[in-house]
Amino acid sequence: MIRAVAILGLSLGVGSASADVLQTSSGPVQVTPMIEGLDTPWAIGILPDGTFLVTERDGELLYVANGQADRVKGVPKVATRGQGGLLDVTVARDFAQSREVFLTYSKPQKNGAGTALAVARLSKDGHRLTKLRVLFEAVPGGSSGRHFGSRVVEAEDGTLFVTIGDRGDRPAAQDRSNLMGTIIRINRDGTVPADNPFVGDANSRPEIWTYGHRNPQGAGLDAQGRLWVSEHGAKGGDEVNLIAPGQNYGWPIISYGVHYSGQKIGDGTAKPGLEQPQHYWDPSIAPSGLMVYSGKLWPQWADNIFVGSLKFDYIARLAGTPLREVEHIEGSETDRVRDIVEAADGSIWFISVGQGVVYRMTPGS
């Protein structure tokens, strides 16, 4: 049984025992709960020593170590409206030296909220963030509680990618004078890299790397260092995109979905100068976290893309050229999968919002 513990006013369980088994194309896998009793968890950040961080959308950051979970103090104030709140957490590549972690969240602003990125140092005991500073915020944001996007990925060169949704303002995703519906790229000190594609363009924000996105909530690098994202369509038209600098990914001019009213979106599914998705879903699966797998524990899954489904309660495995969905990994544990990451040992960790649990997946016996 999972041991229930009271933690700073929380009633959480930290995984210490039984694992369930799911059947996959690579044989049985064990799925072990690592922490239970979470309230709308959003992201996982695994530290080099095997301890880990979990964000909860209401603004809590939890540090889990040695069977104990504690609230982390010093988290920035968040606007918890609609889909907003404390969202992604990413552990810096040089954490062993810097102890830095990156957080994305909906930052309160005069007229609402905007997607923001902050960096802070985690204390050695994991209980406090210090030297917090905001590296970036999307200004102006907006009053809508929708489409914050909000994954942060550290590229191999140390720059940071942040995904930002269109905030429900569809035309804004085609207007490079604002940051809605974009993926941005900045340096770790918050400055803009000189080789960003729109630097020097008076009509564009220099942080923009790509635009024409609806609500990208999954992002990860492949073995070549390329950025892949998963993003929500409207009614149909969820996408997996391979990101290339300066490109327009089409929203809302083209889409494989339709408006919730059933009306056509834009000009159809393709148009010159607009990027096509590497894969799309219709009907929508509501994709969130995305991870490109190394193959460390499951060599046959090397370079496969894993995407969590919030709507249909499974983990999608995608492979091949052209990219296609080749497997559903599913069970009671995959209830609204919000995030999915690979640990240093090759195990696959994921968040089930429906269960309020972080799970660890390893090869079964």
Q: Which residues are catalytic?
A: 147
Q: Where are the beta strands (DSSP E) in 201-336?
A: 208-211, 216-221, 227-231, 238-242, 279-281, 287-292, 305-309, 315-319, 324-329
**With contact defined as beta carbons under 8 Å apart, do 164 and 192 qualify?**
no
Rg (CA), the chain: 19
CA 307 to chain centre: 10
Residue whose token pair is 């303002």: 169
Both tokens assigned to 160: 């940071």
36 strand-pairing partners: 13
For tokens 């799911």, name the residue.
Answer: 22
- Measure the CA–CA gap between 129 and 108, rounded to whole angstroms: 19
**Which position has the token pair 């959003």?**
42
Residue whose C-alpha is closest to residue 165's, from 246, 110, 234, 220? 234
Residue of 209, 199, 213 whose CA lies nearest to 275: 213
* Run of H or E residues at 46: strand 41-46
CA angle 19, 151, 93 (to 5 degrees): 80
Calpha distance 137→207 (Å, rounded): 11
Residues 353 and 144: their CA atoms lie apart, in Å, by: 23
49 backbone dihedrals φ, ψ, rounded to 5°: -90, 5
What does the alpha-carbon distance between residue 238 and residue 236 come to, in Å, rounded to a whole number? Answer: 6
Helix, strand, coil shares of the chain as percentages rounded to 5?
Answer: 5, 45, 50
